[in-house]
């Protein structure tokens, strides 16, 4: 029998935080009650005159602006309190999160009945739109809950870090830009908030301010800006060809563009995909997560990469889907573009999944492993989006799977990162092979870890099982309805799920179960804000797992009603879906068994320490021609009189890609180029003039005559 | 036939020749003062071209003689324009020459190649 | 006082101010500064009034001495010249306020007065270039502008200013003489130097004397290209920037080279009209030059260690953008180019002025020495960051709007390759601007001992920076007001 030593309460705000979390649980209860129409609450509210007046009034649209502004105001208030009074500072941040959560939960009945939208015509010479519909609302609700819990967690966690004021300030700004990105009604507004989100979250990643943080941060922001520029190119192309950037069906006009529509979609998928951690542009994720403080990692992996996937869903279902009244059935040729794009996205998702889980198994650092798992799970979501597009009219299953998995993954991934943070907080160690036996010292954490790990592995009665089953059904449908090649996709799906199970068995064994010599005497068994936040998320995970149809009924079905999916299909296959069918349960059992087998084999044959040779990394292969040119650049420019002994030119010949990245080599190359040519260009000023003059005049005379 | 054409347009050809000679001096010589002189020669070429435009075959200098009416005058406008132009080129030459004096004081050479070598040595020291 | 005399009064005010400054040599310098500010204010008010007047009531013609346009010199105030004279007056006023602080570094005390004399003559010549309707008059004003700019750049008595100034004079003279040769050829073919009269008879001249017109076009493009720092002829610009004091750099990079591009626009669209340009395929030539400038300017900028040289090469790249807009030879393209002239003027001024403040207080110019600068001089680095983000093309700044407009204009003429080059050059901009911002605000370990306090800077130096930062964001958020004026200017050029 475990003996519970006396609990110490370290944290002075535990009481108030507990109250707030209790209130948030009450809100959750209200939400459940509203959807389930317990005690007739639903009818009472919806039919009340106050509510109907609210719906009809014009100022209800300004709620969007209010929820975007509250985090900014909270951030400014927090800045003013600064380091002077830590309690007030953290309180302001937590209350800000709570207030936003309250407003968002209470907005549910409004959004069910009416899409809020605001138009601002004159800004940016094109005009902007803000809009919340059911799709945005689901992600918004999710982000609000998670952000609130992470704020409570951050309050306690950041007592071990410096410069918390700056961290919380940028956290608030990032929250505001995330809400703005979800609430945008046209592509330009989403792009603007995306850029702001990249810049403010850069400050979060770089918080540690050591050499590694700077490198990871630089990589992160450059890739974020490249993604931004890809989206900008797509915006310019869309604006020029279609004229209206709002999220409405544009497939009729897009079809007249021929192949250009595939280019636009490719640009958008890559642009948003960089943010979503899609392979091959996922490389910033495993670098940014270990160096960022845990609350930032939890939010980065939990919410921000979902915004990338949300962007892809929004763009694909708005521009490339026909509108509801113009489509006839599954064989309508209007679906052709979506089908082609969907196939490619499915394969991209499958590759991402496999890559993520394979690399995750090789990691020793807990946070890096979780980062690779994020990539792998985003692969699931992207596959779901691909199926949603590929099957066209019948694609509701994939869409449901993707949305459900967004919600689930946000929950359990944030929880997992929080657990990793707790481990770090107590033991200052993140290497899985050096830890062990933590179940004795941190029993509550162990239980929450079990819940989260079972969730991500897809065990029944927890939430991961539901979304993975739906996604599996989606892939099976793709195989049956369209093309048998997706059978291989299904096989990879099953193997990847087994790999996920294996990886978490591995982590549980090494971190919690294994007996080691470390005593961790200094760990005290305490009850702090960290635990409150983690427990609430664990409770939500279990609740969703126990009643899978709740999320379907409350959030996903209303979304599906506004899209152009086949209503008959939605009614028959999704609305009353039974996820606990015998076939799926057996499949899960098989996956778990396979996972155990892989784990045992891996431990025996030491398969968990494989390192791919350095030249096989995606970055190196992608840039290989450029690297070859850059290595020989000195010889190319100077001939034989190459001044190679300067130490910064030797950077170019460095074979190891990890030490000097692509951009640094590019800068050194421009240095060589500059050194060689700048002075000679300057010296030959008159020669350039004469030669260009003669050349131009001869050219023009030839054109004329 | 083409000899007539050349004699007719001798002014223009001379002007263009001066321009090209001046340009050649600027391009090939490295002494700063020679380059300034090259620019001057180019300028003179352009001015010659301009003034030559005003020439009207069979015209008389533009002074009104009250006794004779209906004379064919040479166009006076280009000459007037060029007066302004000459002033401008002179002022630029003055400015360049003062710069050359200062360069000589500081570097003790007015050869362009020497100068760039000295400057790049100075920059390398930093 | 007639409304028609306002343009000439503007010029006269500047000239008188320039004459009066040496007379005030014995008085304290403050009187000169205040008087200059009053003059600039008056000119700014009168330019804005002219801008409103020509957009609502009609174009103003003014002929000197009452001689008709054929024999005399004519000034035209139309939406094009009114818009740009207002912009120049505004930017000059901001730079003037800045320079009245202690930022005229490196200049000896006795030279202050001469600096301002040169500044006012420079402003007068710019106004003259924009107002005049006569090609040779443009040449005279161009030459005045050249000399005063050279003098304003080489005003410091340091060793390296002389060689840079010499190269500048040499290249500018080549350019002016080419331009003059072009004017001569046009005069030879058409018999006029007045722009409106030439434009009426250019078609006949082109049919009768094609060689003249073609060669004139070539000479003028190259001559003005040298002065406007377009890519292969940009040679003088980085040296000039590294040698000059910061206010002169700001004037040079933000205003002066724009005026030359405006002369090029005037010549291309009013003298040789669109038919000749299309026939001669000028569009291709200009677009190729612009594309090369956009990429190579940024490539050279990445390699620079001196921050002012880097900003100079950045100007070369931005002039490539403007040339791209012009080279499209369409309404959209010109509109995007003019908007970029305004937005780049604002951003470059902000960059040079903030860098000037940092150089003045920290005496360092190297890019690597910017560590922790954001804590010592927050306003300067803050404005630098806003302007740098604008150059990269982040939304909420005016740079983003100009990239958007340029992108749409490029697509309008079906030159998709230039869209790719545009995005690529934005990426290159990120590579050299972002590290400075990161260094300034984040990495302050090297110079912790310097972080005593925020440097106190005089208000005259901070206020213009803040004003520029606010303007960049405001123009980025609400560009429609300015677009109205710009579209009127483009229409007056193209019709």
DSSP character string of A69-106: HHHHHHHHHHHHHTTT-HHHHHHHHHHHHHHHHHHHHH
Considering only CA atoms, which of A385, A181, A478 is closest in space to residue A303? A181
Q: How far apart are CA A457 and CA C105, in angstroms?
A: 67
pLDDT at A614 over 60: no
Nearest residue of chain B to residue C190 (CA atoms): B53
Q: How far apart are CA A347 and CA A354, in angstroms?
A: 11
Instruction: Give A333's DSSP letter.
Output: G
Nearest residue of chain A to residue C332 (CA atoms): A240
Is the minimum CB–CB distance between C135 and chain B shorter than 8 Å? no
| Greater model confidence, A123 or C294 | C294
Q: Which residues pair with A120 in a beta bridge?
A: A128
Rg (CA), chain C: 22
The H-or-E segment that residue A361 falls in is: helix A336-361
Q: pLDDT tens across C444-474, in order?
A: 655 554 555 566 667 778 888 999 999 999 9
| C140–B84 C-beta distance less than 8 A | yes
Secondary structure (DSSP) of chain B: -HHHHHHHTHHHHHHHHHHHHHHHHHHH--BHHHHHHHHHHHHHHHHHHHHHHT--TT-B-S---SSS-S--BPP-HHHHHHHHHHHHHHHHHHHHHHHHHHHHHHHS--BHHHHHHHHHHHHHH-
* Percentage of chain C lying above the pLDDT 70 cut: 95
Cα A616 to Cα A373, A404, A492, A545, A621: the distances in Å are: 20, 34, 21, 40, 7
Cα A289-A616-A633 angle, rounded to 5 deg: 100
Contacts of B43 in chain C (CB under 8 A): 173, 177
* CA of C240 vs chain B CAs: smallest distance (Å): 14
Is the minimum CB–CB distance between C197 and chain B shorter than 8 Å? no
Burial class (CB in 10 A: 0-12, 13-18, 19+), A515: exposed
Residues A525 and A8 sit within 8 Å (Cβ to Cβ): yes
Is the minimum CB–CB distance between B110 and chain A shorter than 8 Å? no
Residues A342 and A391 sit within 8 Å (Cβ to Cβ): yes
Q: How far apart are CA C13 and CA C121, in angstroms?
A: 10
Nearest CB neighbour to C442, from listed A206, A678, A699: A206
| A683–B116 C-beta distance less than 8 A | yes
What tokens appear for C146 in the block? Answer: 């050249």
Is the minimum CB–CB distance between C412 and chain B shorter than 8 Å? no
Q: How far apart are CA A356 and CA A305, in angstroms?
A: 15
Predicted pLDDT of residue B15: 92
pLDDT at A642 over 70: no
Q: pLDDT averaged over chain B?
A: 87
* CA of C276 vs chain B CAs: smallest distance (Å): 23
Residue A589, number of CB atoms within 10 A of its CB? 12
Considering only CA atoms, which of A79, A93, A87 is closest in space to residue A13? A87
Q: How far apart are CA A89 and CA A31, in angstroms?
A: 30
> What count of CB pairs under 8 Å joins A to B?
10
Rg (CA), chain B: 21
Mutate to test the interface with B, among C177, C235, C364 (most CBs of B within 10 A): C177
Nearest CB neighbour to B85, from listed C150, C162, C180: C180
Q: How far apart are CA C356 and CA C101, in angstroms?
A: 11
pLDDT at C365 over 90: no
| Greater model confidence, C362 or A342 | A342
Q: pLDDT tens across C424-439, in order?
A: 999 999 989 988 888 8
Q: How far apart are CA C448 and CA C442, in angstroms?
A: 12
Contacts of B96 in chain C (CB under 8 A): 166, 169-170, 173
Q: How far apart are CA C113 and CA C355, in angstroms?
A: 24
Residues C240 and C305 sit within 8 Å (Cβ to Cβ): no
Banded model confidence at residue A661, pLDDT cuts 50, 70, 90 = low
pLDDT at A616 over 60: no
Is the minimum CB–CB distance between A226 and chain C shorter than 8 Å? yes
Predicted pLDDT of residue C4: 81
Contacts of A687 in chain B (CB under 8 A): 27
Q: pLDDT tens across A156-171, in order?
A: 787 777 788 888 889 8
* Percentage of chain C lying above the pLDDT 90 cut: 45
* CA of A686 vs chain B CAs: smallest distance (Å): 5
Mutate to test the interface with A, among C282, C303, C324, C412 (most CBs of A within 10 A): C303
Cα B22 to Cα A223, A316, B27, C490: the distances in Å are: 53, 65, 9, 39
Contacts of B39 in chain C (CB under 8 A): 170, 173-174, 177
CB-based contacts of A127, cutoff 8 Å, min separation 6 = A119, A120, A121
Contacts of B32 in chain C (CB under 8 A): 166
| C211–A685 C-beta distance less than 8 A | no
| Greater model confidence, B88 or C28 | B88
What tokens appear for C96 in the block? Answer: 């003037």
Which chain A residues in 436-465 lie under 8 Å from chain C, judged by CB atoms?
none
| A209–C478 C-beta distance less than 8 A | no
The H-or-E segment that residue A267 falls in is: helix A260-276
| C478–A222 C-beta distance less than 8 A | no
Considering only CA atoms, which of C10, C162, C166 is closest in space to residue C85? C10
What tokens appear for A345 in the block? Answer: 């996205």
Residues A552 and A138 sit within 8 Å (Cβ to Cβ): no
Return the SS3 of A150.
Answer: helix
Q: pLDDT tens across A227-280, in order?
A: 999 999 999 888 888 877 788 777 777 777 778 888 888 889 999 999 888 878
The H-or-E segment that residue A30 falls in is: helix A14-36
Banded model confidence at residue B126, pLDDT cuts 50, 70, 90 = low
Predicted pLDDT of residue A557: 79
Banded model confidence at residue A1, pLDDT cuts 50, 70, 90 = very low
Q: List chains touching A (3+ CB pairs under 8 A).
A: B, C
| A683–B27 C-beta distance less than 8 A | no
Q: How far apart are CA A459 and CA A376, in angstroms?
A: 17
Burial class (CB in 10 A: 0-12, 13-18, 19+), A563: middle
Nearest residue of chain B to residue A691 (CA atoms): B27
Look up tokens 């190196």; give the residue: A620
Q: Which stretch of A662-671, B79-88, C191-200 has the lowest confidence by average pLDDT?
A: A662-671
What tokens appear for C358 in the block? Answer: 């940092």
Nearest CB neighbour to A688, from listed C232, C408, C431: C232
Residues A389 and A342 sit within 8 Å (Cβ to Cβ): yes
Is the minimum CB–CB distance between B32 and chain C shorter than 8 Å? yes
Average of per-residue pLDDT across A100-126: 80
Contacts of B92 in chain C (CB under 8 A): 143, 146-147, 169, 173
| C285–A689 C-beta distance less than 8 A | no
| B95–C187 C-beta distance less than 8 A | no
Nearest CB neighbour to A686, from listed B26, B116, B120: B26
Q: What is the ipTM of this complex?
A: 0.93
Banded model confidence at residue C1, pLDDT cuts 50, 70, 90 = low
Residues A392 and A338 sit within 8 Å (Cβ to Cβ): yes
Residues B96 and C168 sit within 8 Å (Cβ to Cβ): no
pLDDT at A205 over 50: yes
Considering only CA atoms, which of A273, A262, A403, A430 is closest in space to residue A339? A262
Considering only CA atoms, which of A528, A408, A420, A400 is closest in space to residue A464? A408
- Exposure string for C247-257, b = 16+ CB within 10 A, e = fewer: bbbbbbbbbbb
* CA of C30 vs chain B CAs: smallest distance (Å): 30
Q: How far apart are CA A648 and CA A646, in angstroms?
A: 6
SS (H, E, C) chain C: CCHHHHHHHHHHHHHHHHHHHHHHHHCCHHHHHHHHHHHHHHHHHHHHHHHHHHHHCCCEEEEHHHCCCCCCCEEEECHHHHHHHHHHHHHHHHHHHHHCCCCCCCCCHHHHHHHHHHHHHHHHHHHHHHHECEHHHHHHHHHHHHHHHHHHHCCCCCHHHHHHHHHHHHHHHHHHHHHHHHHHHHHHHHCCCEHHHHHHHHHHHHHHCHHHHHHHHHHHHHHHHHHCCCHHHCCHHHHHHHHCCHHHHHHHHHHHHHHHHHHHHHHHHHHCCHHHHHHCCHHHHHHHHHHHHHHHHHHHHHCCCEHHHHHHHHHHHHHHHHHHHHHCCCHHHHHHHHHHHHHHHHHHHHHHHHHHHHHHHHCCCEHHHHCCHHHHCHHHHHHHHHHHHHHHCCCCCHHHHHHHHHHHHHHHCCCHHHHHHHHHHHHHHHHHHHHHHHHHHHCCCCCHHHCCCCCCCCHHHHHHHHHHHHHHHHHHHCCHHHHHHHHHHHHHHHC
Residue B49: left if φ>0, alpha if ψ -120 to 50, beta else—which one?
alpha
Nearest CB neighbour to A679, from listed B23, B27, B120: B120
Q: pLDDT tens across A518-560, in order?
A: 665 555 556 666 777 788 888 888 888 887 777 777 787 778 7
Total residue length of chain A: 705
* CA of A685 vs chain B CAs: smallest distance (Å): 8
| A686–B27 C-beta distance less than 8 A | yes
Mutate to test the interface with B, among C184, C216, C303 (most CBs of B within 10 A): C184
Q: Which stretch of A568-577, B32-41, C66-75, C345-354 has the lowest confidence by average pLDDT?
A: A568-577
What tokens appear for C218 in the block? Answer: 């070539």
pLDDT at B86 over 50: yes
Nearest residue of chain B to residue A689 (CA atoms): B27
Average of per-residue pLDDT across A385-399: 82
Contacts of A690 in chain B (CB under 8 A): 23, 27
Instruction: Give A6's DSSP letter.
Output: P
Mutate to test the interface with A, among C404, C414, C446, C474 (most CBs of A within 10 A): C404
pLDDT at B117 over 90: no
Is the minimum CB–CB distance between B54 and chain C shorter than 8 Å? no
| C151–B85 C-beta distance less than 8 A | no
Which chain A residues in 681-700 lie under 8 Å from chain B, judged by CB atoms?
683, 686-687, 690
Q: pTM of this prediction?
A: 0.90
Considering only CA atoms, which of A96, A190, A93, A104 is closest in space to residue A140? A104
Contacts of A683 in chain B (CB under 8 A): 112, 116
Nearest residue of chain C to residue B118 (CA atoms): C160
Is the minimum CB–CB distance between B38 and chain C shorter than 8 Å? no
Look up tokens 């609302």; give the residue: A137
* CA of B88 vs chain C CAs: smallest distance (Å): 7
| Greater model confidence, A94 or C390 | C390
Predicted pLDDT of residue A231: 92
């Amino acid at each position: 029998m475990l003996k519970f030593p006396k609990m110490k309460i370290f944290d002075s705000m535990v009481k108030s935080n507990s109250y707030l979390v209790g209130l948030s649980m009450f809100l959750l209860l209200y939400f459940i009650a509203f959807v389930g129409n317990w005690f007739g609450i639903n009818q009472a509210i919806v039919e009340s005159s106050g509510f109907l007046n609210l719906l009809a009034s014009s100022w209800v649209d300004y709620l969007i602006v209010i929820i975007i502004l509250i985090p900014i105001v909270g951030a400014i208030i927090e800045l003013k309190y600064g380091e002077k009074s830590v309690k007030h500072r953290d309180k302001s941040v937590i209350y800000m999160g709570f207030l936003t959560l309250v407003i968002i939960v209470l907005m549910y009945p409004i959004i069910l009945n009416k899409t809020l939208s605001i138009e601002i015509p004159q800004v940016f010479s094109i005009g902007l739109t803000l809009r919340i519909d059911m799709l945005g609302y689901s992600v918004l609700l999710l982000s609000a809950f998670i952000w609130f819990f992470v704020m409570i967690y951050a309050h306690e966690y950041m007592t071990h870090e410096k410069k918390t004021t700056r961290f919380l300030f940028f956290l608030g700004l990032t929250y505001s830009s995330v809400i703005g990105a979800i609430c945008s009604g046209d592509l330009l507004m989403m792009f603007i908030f995306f850029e702001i989100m990249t810049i403010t979250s850069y400050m979060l990643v770089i918080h540690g301010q050591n050499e590694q943080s700077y490198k990871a941060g630089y990589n992160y922001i450059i890739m974020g800006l490249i993604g931004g520029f890809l989206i900008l190119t797509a915006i310019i192309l869309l604006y020029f060809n279609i004229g209206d950037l709002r999220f409405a069906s544009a497939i009729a006009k897009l079809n007249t563009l021929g192949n250009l529509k595939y280019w636009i979609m490719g640009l958008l998928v890559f642009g948003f995909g960089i943010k979503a951690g899609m392979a091959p542009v996922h490389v910033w994720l495993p670098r940014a997560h270990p160096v960022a403080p845990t609350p930032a990692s939890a939010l980065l992996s939990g919410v921000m990469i979902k915004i990338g996937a949300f962007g892809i869903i929004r763009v694909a279902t708005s521009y490339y889907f026909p509108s509801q009244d113009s489509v006839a059935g599954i064989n309508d040729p209007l679906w052709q573009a979506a089908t082609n794009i969907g196939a490619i996205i499915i394969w991209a998702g499958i590759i991402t999944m496999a890559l993520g889980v394979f690399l995750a198994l090789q990691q020793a650092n807990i946070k890096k492993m979780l980062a690779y798992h994020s990539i792998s799970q985003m692969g699931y979501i992207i596959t779901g989006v691909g199926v949603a597009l590929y099957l066209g009219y019948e694609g509701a299953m994939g869409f449901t799977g993707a949305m459900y998995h967004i919600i689930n993954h946000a929950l359990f991934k944030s929880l997992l990162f929080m657990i990793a943070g707790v481990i770090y907080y107590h033991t200052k160690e993140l290497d899985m092979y050096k830890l062990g036996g933590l179940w004795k010292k941190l029993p509550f954490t162990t239980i929450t870890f079990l819940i989260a790990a079972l969730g991500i592995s897809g065990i029944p009665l927890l939430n991961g099982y539901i979304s993975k089953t739906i996604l599996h059904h989606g892939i099976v449908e793709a195989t049956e309805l369209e093309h048998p090649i997706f059978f291989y996709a299904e096989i990879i799906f099953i193997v990847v799920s087994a790999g996920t199970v294996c990886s978490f068995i591995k982590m549980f064994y090494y971190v919690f179960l294994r007996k080691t010599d470390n005593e961790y005497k200094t760990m005290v068994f305490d009850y702090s804000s960290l635990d409150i936040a983690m427990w609430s998320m664990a409770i939500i995970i279990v609740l969703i797992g126990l009643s899978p149809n709740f999320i379907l009924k409350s959030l996903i079905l209303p979304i599906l009603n506004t899209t152009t999916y086949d209503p008959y299909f939605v009614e028959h296959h999704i609305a009353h879906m039974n996820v606990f069918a015998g076939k799926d349960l057996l499949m899960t059992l098989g996956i778990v068994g396979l996972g155990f087998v892989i784990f045992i084999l891996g431990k025996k044959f030491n398969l968990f320490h494989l390192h791919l040779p350095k030249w096989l990394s995606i970055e190196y292969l992608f840039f290989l021609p450029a690297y070859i040119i850059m290595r020989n650049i000195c010889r190319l420019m100077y001939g034989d009189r190459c001044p190679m002994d300067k130490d910064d030119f030797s950077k170019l010949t460095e074979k190891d890609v990890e030490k000097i990245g692509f951009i640094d080599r590019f800068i050194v190359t421009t240095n060589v180029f500059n050194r060689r040519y700048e002075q000679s260009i300057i010296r030959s000023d008159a020669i350039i003039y004469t030669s260009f003059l003669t050349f131009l005049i001869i050219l023009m005379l030839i054109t004329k005559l | 036939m083409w000899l007539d054409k050349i004699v007719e347009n001798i002014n223009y050809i001379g002007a263009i020749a001066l321009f090209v000679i001046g340009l050649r001096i600027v391009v090939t010589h490295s002494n700063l003062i020679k380059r300034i002189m090259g620019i001057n020669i180019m300028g003179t070429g352009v001015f010659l071209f301009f003034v030559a435009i005003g020439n009207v075959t069979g015209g008389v200098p533009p002074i009104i003689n009250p006794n004779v009416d209906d004379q064919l005058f040479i166009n006076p406008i280009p000459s007037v324009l060029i007066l302004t132009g000459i002033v401008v080129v002179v002022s630029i030459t003055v400015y360049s020459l003062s710069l050359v004096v200062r360069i000589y004081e500081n570097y003790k050479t007015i050869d362009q190649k020497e100068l760039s070598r000295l400057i790049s040595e100075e920059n390398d020291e930093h | 006082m007639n409304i028609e005399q306002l343009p000439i009064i503007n010029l006269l005010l500047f000239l008188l101010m320039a004459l009066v400054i040496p007379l005030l040599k014995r008085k304290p310098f403050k009187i000169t500064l205040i008087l200059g500010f009053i003059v600039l204010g008056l000119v700014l008010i009168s330019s804005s009034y002219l801008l409103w007047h020509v957009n609502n009531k009609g174009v103003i013609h003014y002929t000197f001495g009452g001689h008709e346009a054929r024999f005399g010199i004519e000034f035209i105030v139309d939406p094009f010249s009114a818009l740009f004279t207002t912009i120049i007056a505004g930017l000059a006023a901001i730079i003037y306020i800045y320079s009245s602080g202690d930022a005229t570094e490196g200049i000896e005390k006795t030279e202050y007065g001469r600096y301002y004399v040169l500044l006012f003559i420079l402003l007068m010549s710019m106004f003259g270039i924009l107002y005049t309707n006569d090609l040779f008059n443009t040449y005279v004003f161009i030459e005045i502008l050249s000399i005063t700019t050279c003098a304003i750049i080489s005003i410091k008595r340091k060793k390296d200013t002389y060689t840079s100034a010499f190269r500048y004079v040499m290249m500018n003279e080549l350019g002016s003489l080419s331009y003059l040769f072009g004017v001569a050829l046009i005069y030879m073919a058409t018999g006029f130097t007045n722009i409106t009269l030439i434009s009426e008879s250019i078609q006949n001249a082109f049919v009768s004397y094609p060689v003249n017109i073609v060669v004139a076009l070539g000479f003028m493009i190259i001559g003005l290209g040298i002065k406007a720092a377009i890519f292969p002829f940009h040679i003088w610009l980085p040296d000039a920037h590294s040698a000059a004091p910061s206010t002169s750099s700001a004037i040079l990079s933000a205003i002066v080279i724009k005026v030359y591009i405006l002369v090029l626009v005037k010549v291309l669209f009013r003298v040789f009209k669109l038919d000749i340009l299309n026939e001669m395929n000028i569009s291709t030539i200009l677009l190729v030059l612009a594309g090369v400038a956009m990429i190579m300017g940024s490539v050279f900028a990445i390699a620079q260690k001196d921050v002012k040289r880097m900003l100079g090469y950045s100007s070369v790249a931005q002039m490539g953008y403007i040339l791209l807009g012009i080279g499209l030879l369409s309404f959209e393209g010109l509109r995007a180019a003019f908007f970029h002239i305004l937005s780049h003027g604002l951003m470059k001024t902000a960059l040079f002025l903030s860098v000037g403040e940092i150089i003045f207080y920290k005496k360092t110019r190297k890019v690597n020495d910017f560590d922790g600068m954001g804590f010592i001089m927050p306003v300067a680095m803050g404005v630098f960051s806003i302007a740098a983000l604008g150059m990269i093309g982040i939304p909420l700044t005016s740079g983003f709007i100009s990239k958007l407009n340029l992108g749409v204009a490029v697509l309008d003429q079906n030159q998709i390759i230039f869209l790719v080059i545009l995005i690529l050059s934005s990426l290159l901009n990120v590579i050299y601007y972002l590290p400075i911002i990161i260094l300034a605000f984040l990495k302050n370990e090297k110079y912790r001992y310097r972080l005593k306090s925020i440097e106190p800077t005089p208000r005259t130096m901070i206020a213009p920076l803040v004003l520029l930062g606010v303007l960049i964001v405001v123009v980025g958020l609400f560009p429609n007001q300015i677009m109205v004026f710009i579209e009127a200017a483009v229409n007056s050029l193209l019709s």
